[in-house]
Amino acid sequence: MLSFNPKKQLSQFLAEDIGKGDITSALLTKKKISVKIISREKAILAGSKYAKEIFKLKGCKAKIMINDGSKIKPNQTIMKITGDANKILTCERTALNIITRMSGIATQTNELVKKIPNKTKLYATRKTAPGLRYFDKEAVEIGGGKKHRLRLDVLSLIKKTKKKYKKFEVEVENTEDAVLAAKEGATIIMLDNFSPTQIIKTIAVLKNKKLRKNVLLEASGGINSKNISKYGKTGVDIISIGSITNSVKGIDVSLEI
């Protein structure tokens, strides 16, 4: 089983950006400086602990001023860093990228979570960038969502073409298949591209057949910030949205002396 090693992953990110090195940063030699990372807009902060680790990899000292999960406003100091100027500038872009992306995901997730009932859970999907899944999923949790499956071996998803289900999530495209999946013992039924009206109908049918309490219902497909409230009112247990990790609007942060 593959395990998540944050330090190793961050080292790879840093190496990817450094390449053979930046001659302009090298010209700064070992001059000691103090800098800070500043927020430029309102957001839910995420990724600061990983940004700190990136600076530590190059021997810099970083102090987190605002913890992940906190609401931030423009011009707040997120982190203070001291160290050699060339080392800090070597780490700058990678550290900022982590905060930018993770805070963007956490912020978007939080905005969506506030639009649905507490009993309905917002789940991320596996629609993440390669190498960033664990960071993306953690950002979703910081924003108030849930990870769903991290890997294919965590939970099997059975498509409509297969008819034997046992402790699986089953994807269906109509009410009839949802009933069949429930009868066959599916743990979770994904209602793929159902409209809110179709979901309400499906739930009513499952209740009538005494099957609703046996399964968790997940709404997925075509759900966004404009219509998520309608889906939240249907009574589904889970709403999954791929866009919170595959269409990220990064949060603006900067490093200043």
Domain-located, residue 166: yes
Q: What is the pLDDT of residue 131?
A: 83
pLDDT at 152 over 60: no
Q: What is the pLDDT of residue 218?
A: 96
- As a whole number of angstroms, the distance between CA 23 and CA 108 comes to 37
pLDDT at 92 over 60: yes
Helix (H, G, I), strand (E, B) or coil at 206: helix
User: Within this chain, do residues 239 and 126 fall inside the same structural domain, yes or no?
Assistant: yes
User: Within this chain, do residues 58 and 83 fall inside the same structural domain, yes or no?
Assistant: yes
Q: What is the pLDDT of residue 26?
A: 56
What CATH number should be reported for the domain holding residue 56? 3.90.1170.20
Q: What is the pLDDT of residue 166?
A: 47
Domain-located, residue 114: no
Average pLDDT taken over every residue of the chain: 89
- As a whole number of angstroms, the distance between CA 52 and CA 33 comes to 16
Q: Pick the range with the lowest mean pLDDT from 33-37, 39-43, 242-246.
A: 242-246
Question: Between these two residues, 6 and 161, which has the higher pLDDT value?
Answer: 6
For 172-225, how does the pLDDT look when each residue is reduced to its tens digit (9 = 90+)?
A: 999 999 999 999 999 999 999 999 999 999 999 999 999 999 899 999 999 999
User: Within this chain, do residues 199 and 168 fall inside the same structural domain, yes or no?
Assistant: yes
Total domain count, the chain = 2
User: Within this chain, do residues 241 and 126 fall inside the same structural domain, yes or no?
Assistant: yes
Domain-located, residue 113: no
Q: Closest Cα partner for 144 from 124, 129, 158, 171?
A: 124
User: Within this chain, do residues 99 and 127 fall inside the same structural domain, yes or no?
Assistant: no
Average of per-residue pLDDT across 100-104: 98
Average of per-residue pLDDT across 28-41: 89
User: Within this chain, do residues 193 and 86 fall inside the same structural domain, yes or no?
Assistant: no
What CATH number should be reported for the domain holding residue 131? 3.20.20.70
62 exposed, middle or buried (CB, 10 Å; 0-12, 13-18, 19+)? buried
State what percent of residues in the chain have pLDDT above 90.
Answer: 74
Q: Closest Cα partner for 83 from 37, 32, 36, 35?
A: 32
User: Within this chain, do residues 128 and 226 fall inside the same structural domain, yes or no?
Assistant: yes
Domain-located, residue 177: yes
| CB of 6 closer than 8 Å to CB of 51 | no
For 216-251, how does the pLDDT look when each residue is reduced to its tens digit (9 = 90+)?
A: 999 999 999 999 999 999 999 999 999 999 888 999
User: Within this chain, do residues 147 and 60 fall inside the same structural domain, yes or no?
Assistant: no
Domain-located, residue 112: no
Q: What is the pLDDT of residue 5?
A: 86
Taken in order 25, 50, 155, 115, is the CA torsion positive or negative?
negative
Q: What is the pLDDT of residue 148?
A: 65
In degrees and rounded to multiples of 5, residue 45 shows phi and psi of -75, 135
User: Within this chain, do residues 83 and 144 fall inside the same structural domain, yes or no?
Assistant: no
Q: Which domain holds residue 12?
A: 6-105+249-256
